[in-house]
Structure 1
Amino acid sequence: MQAIEFNATPHGGMLLIPEIYRQQWEGLAVRVILLPADEVAPTTPKPKTLLERLRTVEKINAAPDLSDNHDAYVLGQTDA
């Protein structure tokens, strides 16, 4: 038995098969089992949010006046 697993969100009763699988499954009879995503054991860890990643930053190596002259640094005018 060949099987694939992917996450999808139904829209109007339709589920889209990811592009990489469409051709090999086109026209075949398939068995579909629907499970809510929150009840399925995750196969990969959930990505951390931006705030979760920022909390891990201990020290930033930057110019001492970065907060005062941020715009100048962004525009490449570091002699502000």
Structure 2
Amino acid sequence: MQAIEFNATPHGGMLLIPEMYRQQWEGLSVRVILLPANEAAAPATPKPKTLLERLRTIEKIHAAPDLSENHDAYVLGQTHG
């Protein structure tokens, strides 16, 4: 099956085939599937939360009291105990 994809805006129920494809498709019977080109017009599908959205839900962090001062030492496993 040969297929092409392009974006178009219907005007009065008509869609224009881009000039580069018109001659090869002229007079052929075609199947047309309409999909909205942007997410806003598409049916709502839940988007995954961004990292910042997920971080905003954290109410309390359970960590060593000096974590902010000695973060690198904790990451490298060089905590003083």
TM-score of the aligned structures, taking structure 2 as reference length: 0.53
Shift of 1:49: 1.7
**Corresponding residue of 1:58:** 59
**Corresponding residue of 1:40:** 42
Shift of 1:30: 5.4
> Which of 1 and 2 has greater Rg?
2
**Corresponding residue of 1:67:** 68
Q: Distance in 1 between matches of 2:33 and 2:57?
A: 41
Cα RMSD of the aligned pairs, angstroms, is 2.5
Structure 1 residue runs of 4 or more that deviate by more than 4 Å after TM superposition: none
Aligned residues: 54
Task: Look up the equivalent residue of 1:70 and give its one-letter code.
Answer: H
> Could you report, residue by residue, the CA deviation over 1:10-40 in whole angstroms, capped at 9, with x for unpaired residues?
7xx4xxxxxxxxxxxxxxx854323123211
Q: Distance in 2 between matches of 1:45 and 1:34?
A: 18
Task: Look up the equivalent residue of 2:51 and give its one-letter code.
Answer: L
Q: Distance in 2 between matches of 1:34 and 1:46?
A: 18
- After superposing the two structures, state which structure 1 stretch, 67-76 or 45-54, moved more: 45-54
Q: Distance in 2 between matches of 1:30 and 1:73?
A: 61
